[in-house]
Structure 1
Amino acid sequence: MGFRLSKIYTRTGDKGETGLADGRRVGKDHPRIEAIGELDTLNSQLGLLLAELDDAATTWPALKEISEVLSPCQHRLFDLGGELAMPEYQALQQVEVQRLETAIDNWNEEVGPLENFILPGGSQLIAQAHVCRSLARSCERRCQHLNAVEPLRGEGLAYVNRLSDLLFVAARLIAKRQGIAEVLWKAADKP
């Protein structure tokens, strides 16, 4: 087992700085900390999606597969957060990106081509998948911002990009497997 925290507060961050594993102190608004925080938010929302999927799988057993594919993503997001906190640490591998691509291809084949823009909605579960998707895009923007300042490994950047794609297709697949029509975007009436 790794490190254990015996004390949760340290008071070292009270003045707006935090420590990285390499010993550096950076502001809590540093792009690295912003990216770590955004990954944490996504991971928390993904946990909520997984809990809701597990509950819904009692009625729609076909949703269990979605949960099984998404569940490891929480661990990989934590790995990516570790890479950001410890710049010399490398946890994510290309095989994880490929795992997401395989799931995207399989699920996309089941849902079929996208014929119109869709809105987040239809059910709470579908909307939660879209919340996670939009947060994954936010993570990607934060990581790309950091990458412009301090270059990151390509695997982490690719992983967050694919995860947002996976969550989009997952939202569509949830709708299909629950028998809920996707909420199609309707353009505003022209004057």
Structure 2
Amino acid sequence: MGNRLSKIYTRTGDTGETGLADGRRVPKSHPRIEAMGELDTLNSQLGLLLADLAQEQGQWPGLAELIEVLSHCQHRLFDLGGELAMPEYQALDEAEISRLEAAIDRWNQELGPLKDFIMPGGSRLIALAHLCRSLARTAERRCQLLNASEPLRPVGLAYLNRLSDLFFVAARLIARRQGCAEILWQAASAPDSANA
């Protein structure tokens, strides 16, 4: 990838189109651009989570492992965005999915089984991890929408699916390592049939 940005604005997108690496011009609302945008949003949110984890790791040393795993994911998300921008570019492989699954399995072993639905929250870090989970699901949906018209490599789709699972488990692990109780879902009471 030898091209680097030497000029930030080009004025070529002022008409609502943008260029792909293969030279095609597409509308900014094109499913490929939507998918790239969602990956960028997720990557930016992950950056915020990582910044907050780094700030808090002095108080909670158990967070260092999360930083290591999630930092790697941030780079792979950028690679996946590159694959969408340059369809001939292939960066991700099955080893990256295995890496996510290994982290999920390792962290889940520490956590034990989940018996109730949990709410996003309890601490800022937990909430940020859940926000990343939610954005990973959105990015996956956008990529699946693109995949319906322009087939994508299955490894990227699988990576996003596992990544959202990783963020869910990361949120739970953060709660455990911060000593913060998870917020359990409290279902609404059944409507009183006499008043219905």
Same-fold call, TM cutoff 0.5: yes
Identify the residue that residue 79 of structure 1 maps to in structure 2.
79
SS of aligned partner of 1:18:
strand
Larger Rg computed on CA atoms: 2
Unmatched 5+ residue regions in structure 2? 192-196
Q: Which amino acid aligns with 1:178?
A: Q
SS of aligned partner of 1:151:
coil
- Structure 2 distance, partners of 1:37, 1:173, is 28
Identify the residue that residue 116 of structure 1 maps to in structure 2.
116
C-alpha displacement of 1:42: 0.3
C-alpha displacement of 1:2: 2.9
C-alpha displacement of 1:185: 0.3
Matches within 5 A, 1:25-64: 25-64=25-64
C-alpha displacement of 1:37: 0.3
Q: Which amino acid aligns with 2:100?
A: L
- Structure 2 distance, partners of 1:182, 1:28, is 40
- Structure 2 distance, partners of 1:16, 1:114, is 46
Identify the residue that residue 16 of structure 1 maps to in structure 2.
16
Identify the residue that residue 194 of structure 2 maps to in structure 1.
none
Question: Which 4+ runs in 1 deviate beyond 6 A?
Answer: none
Q: Which amino acid aligns with 1:118?
A: I
Cα RMSD for the two superposed structures? 0.8
- Structure 2 distance, partners of 1:157, 1:5, is 28
SS of aligned partner of 1:183:
coil
Q: 1:129 aligned to 2:112?
A: no
SS of aligned partner of 2:96:
helix
Q: 1:99 aligned to 2:91?
A: no
Deviations 1:8-30 (A, max 9, x none): 11111101000111111110000
Unmatched 5+ residue regions in structure 1? none
**TM-score, normalised with respect to structure 1:** 0.98
SS of aligned partner of 1:118:
coil
State, as a whole percentage, how many aligned pairs show the same letter: 76
- Structure 1 distance, partners of 2:2, 2:165, is 32
SS of aligned partner of 2:32:
helix
SS of aligned partner of 1:26:
strand
Identify the residue that residue 168 of structure 1 maps to in structure 2.
168
